[in-house]
Amino acid sequence: MPGGSPKVHHLVLETFDGPRPFPRAEGLHWDDDPANNRIENLRWGTRSENQLDAVRNGRHAEAKRTECPQGHEYDRVTPGGARRCSRCDADGALRRKTA
């Protein structure tokens, strides 16, 4: 493996689940605990899926934010999963309408 020793979770996945299904596949931990290398906690996936796991598990830095930059509480989620502040969205719509 270029760049050093193989990671334990990659060895477990390759042994029990098979080789990487595509060249840039990452070994993902369902619970985001890198010490939990049981096969039932592991799967192959994309970088994006790895980040979504971190959000779901509350380990992603942005997911921990509860307020918008103006200090208002995030109070809604877009269909794409972005958290939004209704107050700032309304202020922005008003500014665009009066401009």
Q: How far apart are CA 28 and CA 10, in angstroms?
A: 9
Q: How many domains does the chain have?
A: 2
Inter-CA distances, 61 with 5, 29, 54, 55, 93, Å: 28, 17, 9, 8, 28
CB count within 10 Å of CB 35 equals: 8
For residues 54 and 69, membership in a common domain is answered with no
For residues 56 and 99, membership in a common domain is answered with no
For residues 1 and 48, membership in a common domain is answered with yes
Domain limits for position 17: 1-64
For residues 30 and 73, membership in a common domain is answered with no
pLDDT value of residue 3? 59
For range 63-75, the mean pLDDT: 87
For residues 34 and 73, membership in a common domain is answered with no
Question: pLDDT digits over 7-66, tens only?
Answer: 999 999 999 999 999 999 999 999 999 999 999 999 999 999 998 888 888 888 777 788
pLDDT value of residue 88? 93
For residues 38 and 53, membership in a common domain is answered with yes
For residues 58 and 96, membership in a common domain is answered with no
For residues 56 and 95, membership in a common domain is answered with no
pLDDT value of residue 61? 76
Q: How far apart are CA 31 and CA 8, in angstroms?
A: 16
For residues 77 and 53, membership in a common domain is answered with no
Model pTM?
0.63
